[in-house]
Amino acid sequence: MMRITHLVPPVQKTLAVVLCCTFLGTTSEAQTLQSIQPTKADVPALIRPYFAPQIPGVRLANSPRLAELVRAGKLYLTVQDAIALALENNIDIEVARYNPIIDQSRLERARAGGALPGVPSGSSQASFVQAGQGVAGAQQAAGVSTANRSNNGNNAANATITQVGPVTQTLDPVVQNSNAFTHRTTLEADPVLSGTPTLIGDQRAYTASVQKGFLLGGSATLNYTNSYLQENAASDFLNPQEAPVLSLQLAQPFLQGFGVAVNSRTIVAAQRTLESDPLTFKAQVIAVTANVLNFYYGLVADYEDVRAKQSALDVAKQFLENNKKQVQLGALAPLDVTTADAQVAASEQALIVSQTSLLQQEVQLKNVLSRLGLRDPVLANVQVIPVDRIVVPEKEDLPPLQDLVATALKSRTDIALQKVTYANAETSALGTANGVLPRLQGFATLKQSGQAGAPNPLNPTQLPDPYFVGGLGTALGQVFRRNFPSQSGGAFLSGSMRNRQAQADYGIDQLTLRTTQLQDQKTLNQVVVDVSNYVTALRQARARYEAAVRSRILEEQLLSAEQKKFALGASTPFNVVQQQRDLATAQSAEVAGLVTYSSAQVALQQALGTILEKNNISLEEATNGRVARQSSLPETLPKQP
């Protein structure tokens, strides 16, 4: 005997519940699928968005089922146990479990909006004063300013990023705050306005803004600024003084970039992708199941082939021993022993080739059943013994081809995912269609200003208006009473004279959609061809196997008859050896027929999209990573060759 060693939406809620309530791992390391999801920092909600989520490490421990199936250094496997191990431990399936979590993050990213906000310049804020405030503000208002008083306060709070189609506004509110403190000494070339050749001032600039984009395409920005100024100028009526300003800026496109459908296209596509993740996961489970079945039944066939090769070798050795005895008795020539010995050598070589194929098939099966592969100490040196055998039914009970095609169109995940992909492409094309339009944008600004301060101690004879005497509270009262309101509004229109870029983008997008439609139709047509070919392949594999069985039976009968004739002196050793070779060939053909039939059966189930149902696989258990059915082995375990 030989020994071989080695979304807030319902779908989102469902996915979240399934992924959070799952279990996978060893008894010593009990883990749930919730552990693969990012967790937010345990900090107050106000600052939580600024802490990166915690991403758990990968899980490499196998389920306890694997160790429970090992008996005396051998891993006894039924088909259902092999599938269960793959559902619990296969790395490809584990990777697929991350897809809904990744797509959930992509949806959140899409809901946040498009372009990132700009950052105000600190240097511009440091020299910021309101127009008319103090000497610097008066010079600015009069158009007279020195080089070091440049005011770059207008910053791009929602800078654009170039892409095909309009950029969705930043939908998350953006809060900005900037505080600057400056002490400045300036040599005045003309001291008439300041009254001093050296102007010394302390400035404080406080700026805060809240910006919010909307799916309609517009945005609103609420700005608050306050400039504090104290300087050694006798000409100032108020010194020090506060100058707060509260303004609301509104912008809304009416052609390019207008509409909820255009600006929510990435959100819709991300939502649709998230909802299709169960289909993507199912496709991965189907692929892994097909591999497991092919590897398992391939291993079964290799064991059968090793048994056949071992049987052929035993027959050849027995015939060689008989011939040696006949030579000793003088009944045969020594050359006849050489002929029998050559057959033994050929049988030994065939057995080694079969054993090598078995070992390779065993390695492939182990690799899909464990997260550590052959590095797993449980699998490193165990021999896999398949319990189930390939069963060829007496007849094929297949529905009509039309019904099989209808089943495939209804059940196959690639057809359903193809529809999702096309729907996402149509949604994305809204951007290029809208991008053909010119830009027409309306804008409006509502502003309230205030100013207050103390009488200038450097010029006590110059008394300010009492309405402006006070502190920041006085100035803010003017703002909220709208004592000094300002309004502005307008629109601008821009467009390319030939608009070739947008026209080309739209044309490419639409023509790509047309080719996608044709490819989708080709795929549907191919489904009919695939199902028809796999049905034919299954029937041919069955016929081939049945013919191989009949051939093997006949070769066994011929070998038995030839051996009897040889015992009676009516045959030669060459004829017996030839019949042994023919029988070995017939046995190999029978095993090959078994493998071909099994592969054709798996391929047909995969083409129909029914492989999970045929093998009693629960998609929920696959998602959970834990198969509820307990493994059970027969009382009489099979023997290895």
Extended beta strands in 312-426, E state: 383-386
User: 379 and 362 in contact (C-beta within 8 Å)?
Assistant: no
Give the residue extent of every domain in the chain: 149-154+172-213+218-256+439-494
- What stretches in the chain show pLDDT beneath 70? 1-34, 114-164, 190, 192-194, 639-641
Q: pLDDT per residue over 448-491, tens digit each? A: 999 998 888 888 877 888 888 889 999 999 999 999 999 999 99
**Residue 514, Cβ density class (10 Å: 0-12 exposed, 13-18 middle, ≥19 buried):** exposed
Q: What 3-state DSSP class applies to 515? A: helix
Report yes or no: 348 and 313 within 8 Å, Cβ to Cβ: yes
Please provide residue 506's backbone torsions phi and psi, each rounded to the nearest 5 degrees: -65, -45
Taken as a whole, the chain contains a residue count of 641
pLDDT of residue 194: 66
Q: How many CA atoms lie within 13 A of 150 on its CB side?
A: 8
pTM of structure? 0.79
Look at residue 15 in the predicted model and tell me its pLDDT.
Answer: 40
Answer yes or no: are the C-beta atoms of 188 and 194 closer than 8 Å.
Answer: yes
**Do 57 and 87 form a contact (C-beta atoms < 8 A)?**
no
Question: CA angle, 413 as apex, 528 and 264 as ends, to 5°?
Answer: 125
337-340 contacts, C-beta under 8 A, 24 or more apart: 339/573, 339/574, 339/577, 340/316, 340/573, 340/577
What does DSSP say about strands 485-494 and 439-449: parallel, antiparallel, or unpaired?
A: antiparallel
pLDDT tens profile 97-122: 999 999 999 899 889 986 533 433 33
